[in-house]
Structure 1
């Protein structure tokens, strides 16, 4: 719902400035014509008021594309690609992985690998909450080499083992039901 609302807000801002033929997609807007500095600045200010940011340098735009590919890959595929993440991202964006990883690190201040791990851990949390898959199934689904590898990475990022995290959330849910 959030992305649809953001998309509508972007369309409204573009219409206010009489910008036509723009293509609005997840996190990106392609405007076929060049904008004057005044219109670009006005668009930037209006988007900021709505909590959105206008990225106009190539590295920031590429970084957003990388984030979108990683998010799509981890959170929206039923099953992760069997190829390496680096190969998948590189193929999807048409750039050498080293260039993508260096650009991402420069712009975001963390490595692309760290960003992928953080997203995988968020997906694990989500799957643990749904309680539909066990750790072995989650490990397989997210291309971990073993349950131990998944558990070690999860603990390193969250400070909890997956099973303890699951218990904490179950207690929280039980407490909510008691209200």
Structure 2
């Protein structure tokens, strides 16, 4: 990783990008671009700037990543979130998770899987399922789609499969969750 690229943990949405851009602007730090999980700087930060940016990011729930392993774990998480939220092209959407991650990270899936498990204490598949369930919760709270439509939208083979996985992860049926509402939703960076 170049000195001009900073990796940022928990950066998962457009609001995160805007918040990071705001931190950089307030610190008068020039950058080329800010993308999910990365800040591309014009020039490397001084030690003082690094500490300042790090503390400002921490204040908004983000964190600079220091080592290569943490950076790779964060990229895995970002790619999983993009796939679950269908922020990928059709070709990548149709790929299975292991091929999608291997293609985008240039590592064998077995390596990525064992690395992720050793650092996170859970599998990539478990993280993927948790992300899918959080998206299902979001769709249930919006109350704009039937459970059947949600199952189709989230690529479940059936409503029964979705319901079983939902109950396994949350302890609630989708219909009971719908009644309870958003109080049971989690923030993406807390998964």
Determine which structure has more spread, i.e. the larger CA radius of gyration. 1
Greater mean deviation of Cα atoms: 82-91 or 38-47: 38-47
The one of the two structures with greater contact order (alpha-carbon pairs below 8 A, sep at least 6) is 2
- 1:66 corresponds to: 76
Question: Normalising by the residue count of structure 2, what TM-score does the alignment of the two structures yield?
Answer: 0.72
- 2:61 corresponds to: 51
What's the C-alpha RMSD, in Å, of the aligned pairs? 2.7
Greater mean deviation of Cα atoms: 91-100 or 155-164: 91-100
What runs of 5+ residues in structure 1 fail to find an aligned partner? 171-179
Larger strand percent? 2
Superposition deviation, residue 48 in structure 1: 2.7
Q: Which runs of 4+ in 1 moved over 6 A?
A: none
Alignment of 1:2-21 (within 5 A): 2-12=15-25, 15=28, 19-21=29-31
Contact 2:57–2:64, Cα closer than 8 Å, also in 1: yes
Larger helix percent? 1
Alignment of 1:35-114 (within 5 A): 35=45, 37=47, 39-77=49-87, 81-114=93-126
SS in structure 2 of the partner of residue 66 of structure 1:
helix
In structure 2, the CA distance between the partners of 1:121 and 1:95, relative to structure 1 (3 Å rule), is: same
What runs of 5+ residues in structure 2 fail to find an aligned partner? 1-13, 183-191
Contact 1:47–1:53, Cα closer than 8 Å, also in 2: yes
Greater mean deviation of Cα atoms: 19-28 or 160-169: 19-28
- 1:158 corresponds to: 170
Question: Normalising by the residue count of structure 1, what TM-score does the alignment of the two structures yield?
Answer: 0.77
